[in-house]
Amino acid sequence: MPVRVAYLQFAPEYLEVDQNLATVESLLRPVKADLVVLPELFTSGYFFRSKEDLAHVAEPIPEGTSVTALQSWSEQLGATLVAGVPERDGANLYNSAVVVRPNGRVDTYRKVHLFYEETTLFEPGDLGFQVFEEETSDGTSYRLGTMVCFDWYYPEAARTLALKGADLIAHPSNLVLPHCPDSMPVRARENHVFTITANRHGQEEKAGETLEFIGLSEVCGPSGDILERADESTDTVGVVEVDPHDARDRRINKHNDVLRDRRPEAYASDPN
């Protein structure tokens, strides 16, 4: 059976957690999907004016308001949800993505590659890149990897997830650089996986500086095709049926297999 995968694109309002939860709840209500990916930091907004603002909205996982809401929506929809949330763990703050299933089980990924002022606000992720075994309500199994936004800039992120067996990569995002929507088909192609990028749109300002978020959420297939793409500025849920088995045969032709033919002994792990 296919897996119905979806991205949800919207424009979170800065620090308006309750309003953002209400917006997502209404966008999710009609959705029929097995897996829905939401943007990075979907409850809080992105361009934090201070560490105090971030600390105010950061939540413990899984006890926080956002994960509690995600658990309830996941159960109602019968869908696994992947969403970006600001996490508080003791004194540390992480830019995290949670994987929430209809039975309430939660896993956490903490963003490894921090972008721009995130480097002054969050700790870099310390949980590595993880792949989770998932099952749809129809009993179809698939392997789900997670990465967050700027992780796309480092091919090692998607490659590590593919080497760990991911069929699908969920990619909650708050993209500002223009290049990601045209790069994710390459990440999908070079690793022979499906990718689901859920981006936000809109803009946020701080001290005269504006960040524009570029929308263009998309689902890419293992051949590098864009299977579904949103526009730059609309609240949208895009749903596509995919067969996870299409990601498992990683042969390019009868002589090449994209993962088997790697030559790690020829690659620099760290030139320093």
Site residues for ligand ACM, window 167-186 (CB under 6 A)?
174-176
Applying the rule CB under 6 A, the residues between 202 and 231 that interact with ligand ACM are: none
What one-character-per-residue DSSP string does 101-165 give?
-TT--EEEEE-SS--GGGGGTSPPP-S---EEEEE-TT--EEEEEE--GGGGGSHHHHHHHHHTT
For residue 169, the SS3 value is: strand
CB of 218 to ligand ACM, least distance (A): 16
Q: Which is nearer to ligand ACM, 42 or 115 (CB)?
A: 115
DSSP codes, 182-230: HHHHHHHHHHT-EEEEE--EEEEEETTEEEEEE---EEE-TTS-EEEE-
CB closer to ligand ACM out of 3 and 121: 121
Binding pattern for the stretch 96-135 against ligand ACM, x by CB under 6 A and - elsewhere: -------------------x--------------------
Q: Which of residues 129-158 bind ligand ACM (CB under 6 A)?
A: 149-150
CB of 246 to ligand ACM, least distance (A): 28
Residues with a catalytic annotation lie at 40, 111, 149
Shortest distance in whole angstroms from residue 47 CB to ligand ACM: 10
Q: 257 - beta bridge partners?
A: 251
Identify whether the C-beta of residue 62 lies closer than 8 Å to the C-beta of residue 98. yes
Window 58-97: contact mask with ligand ACM (x via CB under 6 A): ----------------------------------------
**Cβ nearer to ligand ACM, comparing 136 with 197:** 197
User: Which lies closer to ligand ACM via its Cβ, residue 175 or residue 193?
Assistant: 175
Q: Could you tell me if 6 and 238 are in contact, meaning their C-beta atoms sit under 8 angstroms apart?
A: yes
* Shortest distance in whole angstroms from residue 4 CB to ligand ACM: 26
The dihedrals phi and psi of 89, each to the nearest 5 degrees, come to -130, 100
Q: How far is residue 216's CA from residue 234's CA, in Å, rounded to a whole number?
A: 9
Distance (Å) of CA 19 to CA 3, 14, 102, 181, 189 = 30, 10, 23, 28, 37
User: Tokens in use for 107?
Assistant: 């896993």
Among 34, 40, 59, 228, which residue sits at the site for ligand ACM (rule: CB under 6 A)? 40
Q: Left (φ > 0), alpha (ψ -120 to 50) or beta: where does 100 sit?
A: beta
Nearer to ligand ACM, 161 or 242 (CB): 161
Quick check: helix, strand or coil at residue 25? helix
Number of residues this chain uses to bind ligand ACM (CB under 6 A): 7
Distance in Å, CB of 66 to ligand ACM, minimum: 17
Task: Kindly list the residues in this chain that would bind ligand ACM in the complex (CB under 6 A).
Answer: 40, 115, 149-150, 174-176
